[in-house]
Structure 1
């Protein structure tokens, strides 16, 4: 790789040899099991939840992902926005595509005109550090359950895959709740499915170690309650992030002590409040939620 705008060339600094599969796909039978847990590569749960809130709010600011994970700014052309943000493109750039498709499926359950675009023709004509990895998503209501297909033009298959899968499986769950149907299979298709040669040792350790699945409590199974849960997720994330950035420990204390409205958002509260304490230098306060599974509680305790 030589393109100075591509992370695959470390933005023009050096080649990054890689290994890949072309046209790879896999299927997840239960998208509620949205996390893959492996001791060799622990998942960053606050980043998962922060990315979810940011995406469900349709935003593209760079500061939100940068709060959870270093390196976000290197993808930004202007150091303020991320032009390829999946949620922004799906939910707000040109209107809420997912809501439009859900409404279409609600009116005609057999519909096939159900593809929401992330990648657009204009991406092929502009010079940017961000050429979205995702092409788009499609959903089908078949046999009373919602099947979801995520189409990626390129998928980093080791360190990025867990976060992309979590995000799109939670979007899948939200769409199913909007239709008041259960989730069917989640299908992930990639034009190139790859990792880099300097990650081979990590890949071998991941493959050698046991992998367990885990998930958050299910979203409410009605449209009204699912919308309310998404709204609470967005507010909790914003309030805790802003309080941590401001060093406002009293605000963090208040949010941490107040149980959220749903089991799903209460686990979000516990995780993001514990993370906020860590950001202000408090390495001992642990916020718990009775709704967290043992696996999720262990992730929060390890922050």
Structure 2
């Protein structure tokens, strides 16, 4: 069989990858001192790219970072100031202490280049004019990234291909390497969200998502965590509705960006009653509300999140917050099963 396995939801694909690498180790190595077990040529296809969230309790998915990274790309940013607020570990990857270059895919996607168009602009124009094209590709990896052998910030993704077939937009990611525990989860979230945003701009239906990786690996430091995630996944999962992205303009994303910055700098506080006045669809209101939750967690450690804020979250997001930060949930607030501190 030459076609990769197909999954309806990403969580099942994620667990299958962890189990595959654990049970079918092809190589054991330690590039740049990072000991890992590795499988080559790992691929899968998602038939519903909207079902992109992993709810397995043992994984404790950081839904705030997932959205922050995806938006960091969509906003065309490369600044460490924003992304390190959500993931401080990324600071060590910056050569100048201010920006990221390799894994900052946003500028590569949206920076205006020749002929006054970005890579993404050219993809949209190509698909609008020639729907059957196979050339709708955006490239991330740049040859200059390998000049310095010690460079820690090298693109893991080679590129994305968009294929408009039968009125549905498929997307395919090609990756040189993928950390199966951490990177895989975040990359699929970001790339499928970008795929859905692109489909919305084209006015077409969402198709399938393919993920092809040269080196899929589990770092030794994450081996026990990977095993625990896989084991817990077979005990059942919470089922939450999958929400489709509404018609979204760049102006909508600018509103989200404005509030993200104000919340990150603790210059703004959003009460649930403020959401309807943002000028955003409920889908994006919830994303901003997640950032308000993280503002409370980040700027007021040890203080529980306001119950009214948690109550305004969609149930799935509330479940994720409770499992990621159980001690931030008020004692008298109903906790999801397994989220006790």
Asked if these proteins are the same fold (TM beyond 0.5), I'd say yes
Residues 37 and 238 (structure 1), Cα distance of their counterparts in 2 relative to 1, 3 Å cut: same
Partner of 2:109: 90
Partner of 1:252: 269
Counterparts of 1:93 and 1:212, CA distance in 2: 42
- In structure 2, list runs of 5 or more residues that go unmatched: 1-28, 326-341
**Structure 2 residue 82 is the aligned partner of structure 1 residue 64:** yes
Counterparts of 1:141 and 1:116, CA distance in 2: 15
Counterparts of 1:157 and 1:64, CA distance in 2: 25
Residues 293 and 100 (structure 1), Cα distance of their counterparts in 2 relative to 1, 3 Å cut: same
Relative to the length of structure 2, the TM-score reads 0.76
Partner of 1:230: 253
Partner of 1:81: 99
Match of residue 139, structure 2, among 100, 114, 117: 117
- Equivalence map 1:122-133=2 (5 Å): 122-126=144-148, 128-133=151-156
Q: Deviations over 1:192-242 (max 9, x none)?
A: 011112322111111111256767632224xxx343333333222222112
**Structure 2 residue 304 is the aligned partner of structure 1 residue 283:** yes
Counterparts of 1:68 and 1:166, CA distance in 2: 16
Partner of 1:217: 243
Moved more, 120-129 or 260-269: 120-129
Counterparts of 1:182 and 1:99, CA distance in 2: 19
Counterparts of 1:199 and 1:93, CA distance in 2: 39
**Structure 2 residue 313 is the aligned partner of structure 1 residue 295:** no
Residues 240 and 83 (structure 1), Cα distance of their counterparts in 2 relative to 1, 3 Å cut: same
- In structure 1, list runs of 5 or more residues that go unmatched: 1-7
Relative to the length of structure 1, the TM-score reads 0.85
Counterparts of 1:29 and 1:188, CA distance in 2: 12
Q: Deviations over 1:239-298 (max 9, x none)?
A: 2112x2xxx4xx2146873334112211112111011111221423142576x5422222
**Structure 2 residue 47 is the aligned partner of structure 1 residue 29:** yes
Q: How far apart are 1:47 and its partner, in Å?
A: 0.8
Moved more, 20-29 or 253-262: 253-262
Residues 168 and 161 (structure 1), Cα distance of their counterparts in 2 relative to 1, 3 Å cut: same
Partner of 2:208: 185
Partner of 1:100: 122
Residue-pair matches, total? 283
SS at 1:234's partner residue? helix
